[in-house]
Structure 1
Amino acid sequence: MAHSGFFQRQAHARRNTSLLVFLFLTAVALITLAVCLVGYFVTRSESSGLAFHHWLLSNHGLLTGATVILLIGLGSLLRWVDLAGGGSRVAKMVGARPIEPDTRDGEERKLRNVVEEMAIASGVPVPELYVMDQETGINAFVAGYTANEAVMVVTHGALTQLSRDELQGVVAHEFSHIFNGDMRLNVRLIALLAGILMIGQIGGFLMRASFYRGHRIGRSRDGRAQAAMGIIGLALLVIGYVGVFFGRLIQAAVSRQREMLADASSVQFTRNPDGIAGALFKIGLKGGYLDTTSHASDMNHMCFGESARMKFTSLLASHPSIDDRINAIQPGMLARLRSRLRDTEPGATLYRGSAPGDSSGTSAFTAAASEILGPVTGQAARTSPLASRTEPANRPVRRFSNQVGTINRQSEDFALGFLSRLPATFRNLLYTRAGAVQLCYALLISELPRDQQLARLTGLASHPVLGSQPDLLEKLLPALDSIGDGVRFPALELAMPALRKLDPEEREMLIANVQKLVAADNRVSLFELALTSFLHRHLGTGADRVVPVRYKSYRPVLPALQRLLGLLARAGSPSLVEAETVYREAMAGFIDAGRPPEEVPEKVTMRQLQEALVVLNGLSPLLKPAVIDACGHCITHDGKVEPREYELMRLVADQMDCPMPPLLV
């Protein structure tokens, strides 16, 4: 069965995680055997000439092996725990500074504008932004376990030396890593490599200690013991760095493929190959190495370009060469960039690389693009069980799952238009905690008469940030009225960096206040359902946790599917009879052909919807497209899509970790 690129890449990232664990365990086993071999020769006189395989099962061998495994495991565990803080912890580890949303710096504002456009066009919450002030090289990376808490870090060199188009190409490349699940894989790689490095670090410590004490002790029996310790330390150092060598090989093998796919995604998202190619060309000229952090080699696989200098570059580089990447983007691009540089800077030194017409680069892009874009027509016919049952022959099939994890011209135009229509005061308020909180309240009361708005807000407890603030609402409510429908969730996405700055207790209080406003009239609208679920997913307890795959078939999640599709069928149909027809069509692909048709559920509560979405998020990535398309069928069966229907559609996709771009409806 074919699936859209987003879901394929999500599944591939999960398989890569399992593969990395296997390769890591293999490396641990080899390092343990190597250390045991050293221990065998050191204790050979005490072992009465035992063969190595017998020595391994002796007390000495078992103790040596257990110690090595414990040390490697402890090194990885300590780094794993250290990185549990997610993307922000990685950013602080390399000394990056957060960029304030309301920054006055022109270069930082340029970055924020580019990132906000990309986030709104793709349906991903705006990531938190950081800059490495002391780094003059051109580089960037994203880090985090989920898109909810992703951070994007750029160097000062990238901010100051890249044009807007080039910066957009880099940002689109990094967004691809967010979509594809690469961030989580990359952070875990740092932890796994830290454990392998532990043996080499211990060896280095033993060597330094032995030589230092050897100089003080001089020639004596203790001195010979120190020398022996130094030799053991040297052996451990060599073994440790051999382990690191193979760890880097693993890292590079996985990372190179993902970098080529991210380059192809950047071209697809921006439709401007000159942007990312120009950024790569400047890295080739000026470098992207991180010189002010000791973690440069740890971060190598995460960055846009190589962040650390290393020997055996052709083997250990986490990225294909700059020339190969540029040639893969577009045939002849490298020659054009060199010619442009020669015309604008006649004295510039050109870096040398492969021929501009290298066919291997072209084929690399073709392969990457085909995996990213896929044969859309063929996919659309096979992605969903609805393909042969639910669409009349004369109506074009709209596969919402093909839009997930993509940016198209329509969504980009929407993002640009949305941001241009936002009043400056309104937009600046969304960058503050108080303004972002008041936006949540304003979205719920904006359509009520003035007196009812005030009455609803009086029920909220006073609080410096979370209480009702009429002066801020007076600036937000008129803007919401003038902007119109279909922009409420993009506004929320813009406010997410500020909302994420709330303390856990403040987040809970915000969600409670929103629920209080929703319950005030004893009825729940589709938008109120969507808003409450959105805040629970992104700010509630466990919002930053990775959801594991729990279900590899539809059978265990049928009750959740029935509730979700029943709600959408009722929402998108004017009569109960039509709703039942739509519901049966949507469910047809998930139940056995001989099974009697189900009746549409009478009522779905807010709690039931949230529970159903949590269950459905546990599906394997390759099973999610059919659910997205079935939901899409419920709201498009009549040939039109209302803004509120699509908001609910995007909510469903968001709750299942399937970012969907906005739609002009």
Structure 2
Amino acid sequence: MAAPGFFERQANARRNTGLLILLFLTAVALITLSVCLVGYLVTRGEQSYLPFHYWLLSSHGLITAGAVVVLVGAGSLIRWADLAGGGTRVAKMVGARPIDPNTRDPEERRLRNIVEEMSIASGVPVPELYVMEQEAGINAFVAGYTAGEAVMVVTHGALTQLNRDELQGVVAHEFSHILNGDMRINVRLIALLAGILMIGQVGQFLIRAGFYSSGRSRRDGRAQAAMGLLGLALMVIGYIGVFFGRLIQAAVSRQRESLADASSVQFTRNPEGIGGALFKIGVKGGYLDTTSHASDMNHMCFGESARMKFSALLASHPPIEERINAIQPGLMTRLRSRLRDTRPSDRLQPGQDSATGNLSGLASNLSGDGHVDTGAHAAPGPAPAEPHPAPATRPGTPLSAKVGTISSQSEAFAIRWLNQLPATFRNLLYTRTGAVQFCYALTVCGLSRETREQRMALIEPHPLLGPQPAIQEKLLPALAALGEGARFPSLELAMPALRKLDPEERTLLIANVRALVAADKRISLFEFALTSFLERHLGQDAEQAPAVRYRTYQAILPALRSLMSLFARAGTGSAEEARTLYQEAMAGFEQAPDSAPGEVSLKDLHKALAMLNRLSPLLKPAVIDACAHCVTHDGRIDVREYELMRLVADQLDSPMPPL
């Protein structure tokens, strides 16, 4: 059976959100009934003539049920509001420290290089990076509501105990969660579970108030005892709620973790990378011991982050050995064999733990530095059967099939492109000041010095956002030498620094770029793409995923006509050929398309893209393929056509790899 593509996985993620809400409501209903049963038993002396189902409809029953629903809802809403800050708030919640983009730490630098390579190769903006410095276990997670504001958090153990191939496997696994739309449901699950836990917390409060208070009269003592017993009952119900909450975690998480493992192999084409990382987690552990939110984060992490009973039932991830063997049959045996080869000969005696035994008994078998070498020095095993064949390797593959994927060509391009960046240019993109000046430089590159100075004079002085000619003089020559094709990849490298701007600074930056773009009374397609990109990722609604509004093409035909008219004209200089391309592109959306493409203003294009962004994920591939048909009909894609495709893909929340 064919593996689901990017758009199918996005649609599944939206359906999983509905499933999550259904499971949450079911858990709330069961908890409410349980609390009402306790209330019925407490008050039945007064209301003894009423059966339970009638008591539920009495004032006592309705008040009890309403109080439970309000309490659970309030707990979820409070945590939901607390997590409105997205991935950054989650990272701070677990005590993670942001990694400076210009860090000199070699292990942090290695992580940043891997993440940047993966971002450029996939078309996803570079996530902001954090490290949990006090965590020795091997683990990682991504958090956020959209790919544009995602953060990636890794433990100190992951940085120090994994080699580059293994760390790349972990990063690819987490990128799969970004591309599959898993982050949003993961953050929402934290909020929903917080509400379920509220009943148990109230029970603990009543127990402390009832059993651990002193200095009261006998009558008060009886009331306190009753309060304590009520609290005990609520705490028991609360723990039952916790049990069902963990079941919800497991139900939502396990299948997605297996898919992310398979995607990691597809992205890196190296099963021993992620396999070696999982093996080391089995040996060394991946639990988060320094944060009180470990159990809340369990479903988000690369491996299990919290110890729990009934792990076979409540674990958010499949067992380590099962995950490794699913990546490649026989990989577990090879990893164990290599670990056995690292043991001193005097340890290979009868009665010693065998390297083929359980993972829990292998910690003492590691070499001195704690590493199991599964990198380039190890003899390669048989090539795995790719779980998701890379679309780029199959001729005639539609462009939409490449969305949300990483091919060997795109990865090679990313590595080659990053290596050719001048060091000063790259380091400036990692700073807020340099990233801001880079946005300005994109609008004035290619102009004469006098014209540049006139344009920059339009920007008001500001300590951070004002023009800084000295920095631009370092950026402009490198930007010109790299060529037009480097504009969007460089902008993606600058995004972590730009996301550090305050909301007011972001608004002012976008306004300044708009002023520079409008200075010559005309706007090019690149300038439109630049302002649209900044608004999409730095605007007020950047952290919100747009809701689906259109589920058929009929409702958005005017938007499709505008978009295909633009692409047909961009794909050729011949009016006759443009007419043919337009008719072929629109044939998939209406039976009798107009005979010729019409004129399209930037206002029309902006309106069309806004409508298409509300399209169902399953309908977006046809739009991307129709656009691609117009620009690839001659067998090549120039920079202008690529930037136009990137504009459409970005506005449709569809990460486009390099073409």
Q: TM-score range by the shorter chain?
A: over 0.9
What is the CA–CA distance in structure 2 between the aligned matches of 1:260 and 1:374, rounded to whole Å?
18
Paired AA for residue 466 in structure 1: L
Q: Which residue of 2 aligns with 1:352?
A: 358
Q: Secondary structure at the match of 1:45?
A: coil
Equivalent residues of 1:4, 1:374 under 8 A apart: no
Equivalent residues of 1:17, 1:185 under 8 A apart: yes
Q: Which residue of 2 aligns with 1:52?
A: 52
Structure 1 pair 128–376 and aligned structure 2 pair: CA distance change class (3 A): closer
Query: Offset at 1:476?
Result: 0.7
Q: Secondary structure at the match of 2:45?
A: helix
Equivalent residues of 2:550, 2:616 under 8 A apart: yes
Q: Which residue of 2 aligns with 1:258?
A: 256
Q: Which residue of 2 aligns with 1:568?
A: 567
Gaps of 5+ in 2: 361-383
Does 2:628 align with 1:632?
Answer: yes
Query: Offset at 1:152?
Result: 0.4
What is the CA–CA distance in structure 2 between the aligned matches of 1:263 and 1:8, rounded to whole Å?
17
Q: Secondary structure at the match of 2:141?
A: strand
Shifted more, 106-115 versus 449-458: the winner is 449-458
Equivalent residues of 1:5, 1:373 under 8 A apart: no
Structure 1 pair 203–373 and aligned structure 2 pair: CA distance change class (3 A): farther
Q: Which residue of 2 aligns with 1:23?
A: 23
What is the CA–CA distance in structure 2 between the aligned matches of 1:54 and 1:517, rounded to whole Å?
71
Query: Offset at 1:217?
Result: 3.5
What is the CA–CA distance in structure 1 between the aligned matches of 2:595 and 2:95, rounded to whole Å?
57
Gaps of 5+ in 1: 355-364, 381-395
Query: Offset at 1:506?
Result: 1.8
Paired AA for residue 494 in structure 2: A
Q: Secondary structure at the match of 1:47?
A: coil
Query: Offset at 1:596?
Result: 5.2
**1:158-207 deviation digits (Å, cap 9, x = unpaired):** 11111111110000000000000100000000011110100011111111
Does 2:639 align with 1:646?
Answer: no
What does 1:234-633 align with in structure 2 at a 5 Å threshold?
234-346=232-344, 352=358, 370=387, 372-373=388-389, 397-591=396-590, 593=591, 595=592, 597-605=594-602, 607-633=603-629
Equivalent residues of 2:400, 2:621 under 8 A apart: yes
**1:54-90 deviation digits (Å, cap 9, x = unpaired):** 1111111111000011100011010001101100000
Paired AA for residue 115 in structure 1: V
What is the CA–CA distance in structure 2 between the aligned matches of 1:634 and 1:155, rounded to whole Å?
46
Q: Which residue of 2 aligns with 1:383?
A: none
Query: Offset at 1:491?
Result: 0.2
What is the CA–CA distance in structure 2 between the aligned matches of 1:518 and 1:3, rounded to whole Å?
43
Equivalent residues of 1:583, 1:600 under 8 A apart: yes
Does 2:232 align with 1:226?
Answer: no
What is the CA–CA distance in structure 2 between the aligned matches of 1:184 and 1:121, rounded to whole Å?
23
**1:391-418 deviation digits (Å, cap 9, x = unpaired):** xxxxx64511011000001110111011
Q: Which residue of 2 aligns with 1:107?
A: 107
Query: Offset at 1:375?
Result: 9.0
What does 1:72-111 align with in structure 2 at a 5 Å threshold?
72-111=72-111
Structure 1 pair 398–332 and aligned structure 2 pair: CA distance change class (3 A): closer
Q: Secondary structure at the match of 2:612?
A: helix
What is the CA–CA distance in structure 2 between the aligned matches of 1:596 and 1:466, rounded to whole Å?
47
Q: Which residue of 2 aligns with 1:392?
A: none
Q: Which residue of 1 aligns with 2:184?
A: 184
Q: Secondary structure at the match of 2:484?
A: coil
Equivalent residues of 2:282, 2:359 under 8 A apart: no
Paired AA for residue 587 in structure 1: M
**1:606-665 deviation digits (Å, cap 9, x = unpaired):** x332221121011111000000101101111222211111111011101110001112xx
Equivalent residues of 1:4, 1:401 under 8 A apart: no
**Number of aligned residues:** 628
Equivalent residues of 2:583, 2:593 under 8 A apart: no
The TM-score with structure 1 as length reference comes to 0.91
The TM-score with structure 2 as length reference comes to 0.92
Equivalent residues of 1:547, 1:618 under 8 A apart: yes
Shifted more, 522-531 versus 82-91: the winner is 522-531
Shifted more, 257-266 versus 204-213: the winner is 204-213
Equivalent residues of 2:587, 2:593 under 8 A apart: no
What is the CA–CA distance in structure 1 between the aligned matches of 2:330 and 2:649, rounded to whole Å?
39
User: 647, 662, 665: which is aligned to 2:658?
Assistant: 662
Query: Offset at 1:6?
Result: 0.6
Q: Secondary structure at the match of 2:609?
A: helix
What is the CA–CA distance in structure 2 between the aligned matches of 1:442 and 1:44, rounded to whole Å?
76
Query: Aligned-residue CA RMSD in angstroms?
Result: 2.0
Shifted more, 616-625 versus 576-585: the winner is 576-585
Query: Offset at 1:575?
Result: 2.4
